[in-house]
Structure 1
Amino acid sequence: MVDMAGKAIRKWWALFAAPTFLAFIIGFLVPFIMGVYLSFCEFTTVTDGQFVGLKNFQRALADPQFIHALGFSTAFTIVTTIIINVIAFAIAYLLTRAIKGSSLYRSALFMPNLIGGIILGYIWLLLLNGILAHWGRALTYSATYGFWGLVVVVSWQQIGYMMIIYIAGLQSLPTDVLEAASVDGANGRQIMFRIIVPLMMPSITVCSFLTVTNGFKLYDQNLALTNGAPSYMSEGLAMNITRTFYGRMGWEGVGQAKAVLFFILVAAIALIQNKLTTSKEVQA
């Protein structure tokens, strides 16, 4: 019976794969190709594009607000990647020890990841502005307040998700290697940095990839928490691209060019980061 099912799958696999493949082409591949083409055009709709070459890219790179958003997103991604992964790893390590109620803690820490970004942003907007009101400040007082407000919100939301990945990695570690290290006289620090961390590189690769890409793609929380205020100084790349495309008349092509540059940047950084962490994984 199993062999017959396997033969049927091998014979009709294309029929089962076709709907998903068709949806991928219609929902992603075709819009992506059209978007790349329109980045070289001036247009107001997808049917009236006029080819202008690299003009849109030149205008995008000459836009100081875009350059500032690039720096803002880069700094934000670096900070959140470090904070989220360090804290998530530490919590995961503690919760894989014999701690009473560890399952409850895992559930509680994972719950923020289930809340939508817009809702989460507005909730933390009230909380953080309530705290800052004691000093006569608000999140929109300066880009610094908005930056660290976003760091707090995104870290709080994503730590639980990364924690689950690290817990899965820690639970799959070979116990015989850890026991052998203890017998050989290795202390806790040596076991952590010379055995556990190298063996955890597959999980670190996944979590660092997710936090890097999420950092650059941040939009919902940015919109709800600061909306780019003051004067678009707390505006990330995704929000800048959206505002350029929908909020600046005649800049639709520039907005599309920024989106293409954004894709190239995130793809390149993600590939480099994945290559670096994977190389450590192989060495381990």
Structure 2
Amino acid sequence: MISMAGKAVRRWWALFVLPTFLAFIIGFIVPFIYGVYLSFCKFTTVIDAKPVGFSNYVKAFQDKTFLHALGFSTLLTIVTTIIINVVAFAVAYLLTKSIRGSNIFRSVFFMPNLIGGIILGYIWMLLLNGVLQHWGRTLTYSAVYGFWGLVILVCWQQIGYMMIIYIAGMQSLPTDVLEAASVDGANGRQTMFKIIIPLMMPSITVCSFLTVTNGFKLYDQNLALTAGNPMKMSEGLALNITNTFYGVSGQEGVGQAKAVLFFILVAVVALLQNKLTTSKEVAA
């Protein structure tokens, strides 16, 4: 039986939704649509925009630094997605066993995620440069050092967060299925790859989606760790777009076009990844 409060909510639901809906329209939809329009314009402020067709997109694809940043971010995303998910899954599996102090370990692994990206970037810059200086090198010596420095930083920051998601998934696994596998004589490898991983696919879908999108959207860590040096060779997509928009006068339209391309890329990759992993999910 529906209460009086429930009846009121069902009758006036639109009134309750309206403030949030208006905020979403004003804060996201309108700026997004106007941003797409500005990508076809030459402008310095939003009130002096003059349409120039697809020339901004042509300039974006002709920009070698943008294409290099695309390759850099793609490779970084692939490497970090694999490392983060494999390590986070392994740590979660270990911490769901009867290990003394497992709750403390969970907190320790999760703590890096609570620290801001800029702070983490500067901390790891000091640490890694301190190690590399023994060989007369720094993170900005070549793009290779900057790349692996970012890999270490991103993995260290995100493994704990993904670990929590995997732990939640493992704790919800049906125990009767695991017990049946044990009774049937399944060894540890068979149990892992034939039962646990297929049943964990919803958690894997979430974690892989987050790591893929985070890899492409990486900005503050990239800025603090290398700032794109040397010669923009360790510059990711987000940093390249920002440097184009704010770094060169008259290139705001090109920067906006890059941002639209960036949005399309991340959306397509995330949807494909989500569809791929979702198709492998099985009913528990």
Q: TM-score range by the shorter chain?
A: over 0.9
Deviation at 1:199, TM superposition (A): 0.1
The aligned residue for residue 63 of structure 2 is: 63
The aligned residue for residue 211 of structure 1 is: 211
Partners in 1 of 2:100 and 2:57 — Cα distance? 57
The residue type equivalent to 1:9 in the other structure is: V
CA displacement, residues 68-97 of structure 1 (integer Å, 9 cap, x when unaligned)? 000000000000000000000000000000
SS class of match (2:46) = coil
Partners in 2 of 1:5 and 1:120 — Cα distance? 48
The residue type equivalent to 2:100 in the other structure is: K
SS class of match (1:68) = helix
The aligned residue for residue 20 of structure 2 is: 20
Runs (5+) with no aligned partner, structure 1: none
Runs (5+) with no aligned partner, structure 2: none
Aligned residues of 2:199 and 2:283 also touching (Cα < 8 A) = no
Q: Percent identity?
A: 79
Partners in 2 of 1:158 and 1:22 — Cα distance? 33
Partners in 2 of 1:8 and 1:158 — Cα distance? 43
SS class of match (1:281) = coil
The aligned residue for residue 130 of structure 1 is: 130
Partners in 1 of 2:223 and 2:188 — Cα distance? 44
Partners in 2 of 1:23 and 1:91 — Cα distance? 40
What does 1:103-122 align with in structure 2 at a 5 Å threshold?
Answer: 103-122=103-122
The residue type equivalent to 2:187 in the other structure is: N
SS class of match (1:48) = coil
Compute the RMSD of aligned alpha carbons. Answer: 1.1
Deviation at 1:283, TM superposition (A): 7.7
What does 1:138-153 align with in structure 2 at a 5 Å threshold?
Answer: 138-153=138-153
CA displacement, residues 237-273 of structure 1 (integer Å, 9 cap, x when unaligned)? 0000000000011111000000000000000000000
The residue type equivalent to 1:21 in the other structure is: F
Partners in 2 of 1:198 and 1:204 — Cα distance? 9
Q: In terms of mean alpha carbon deviation, does 14-23 or 119-128 score higher?
A: 14-23
SS class of match (2:214) = helix
Given the two structures, how large is their TM-score scaled by the length of structure 1?
0.98
Partners in 2 of 1:268 and 1:283 — Cα distance? 26
Partners in 2 of 1:165 and 1:5 — Cα distance? 35
What does 1:38-187 align with in structure 2 at a 5 Å threshold?
Answer: 38-187=38-187
Q: In terms of mean alpha carbon deviation, does 201-210 or 8-17 score higher?
A: 8-17
SS class of match (2:265) = helix
The residue type equivalent to 1:84 in the other structure is: I
Q: Describe the shift of the 1:129–1:155 C-alpha distance in structure 2 as closer, same or farther (beyond 3 A).
A: same
Partners in 2 of 1:238 and 1:57 — Cα distance? 16
The residue type equivalent to 1:58 in the other structure is: V
The aligned residue for residue 6 of structure 1 is: 6
Partners in 1 of 2:2 and 2:110 — Cα distance? 39
Partners in 2 of 1:19 and 1:238 — Cα distance? 31
Given the two structures, how large is their TM-score scaled by the length of structure 2?
0.98
SS class of match (1:280) = coil
Deviation at 1:27, TM superposition (A): 1.0
Partners in 1 of 2:216 and 2:209 — Cα distance? 11
Runs of 4+ in 1 over 6 A off after TM superposition: none
What does 1:168-247 align with in structure 2 at a 5 Å threshold?
Answer: 168-247=168-247
Partners in 2 of 1:145 and 1:197 — Cα distance? 34
Aligned residues of 2:217 and 2:238 also touching (Cα < 8 A) = yes
Q: In terms of mean alpha carbon deviation, does 249-258 or 8-17 score higher?
A: 8-17
Q: In terms of mean alpha carbon deviation, does 81-90 or 45-54 score higher?
A: 45-54
CA displacement, residues 172-225 of structure 1 (integer Å, 9 cap, x when unaligned)? 000000010011011000000000000000000000000000000000000000
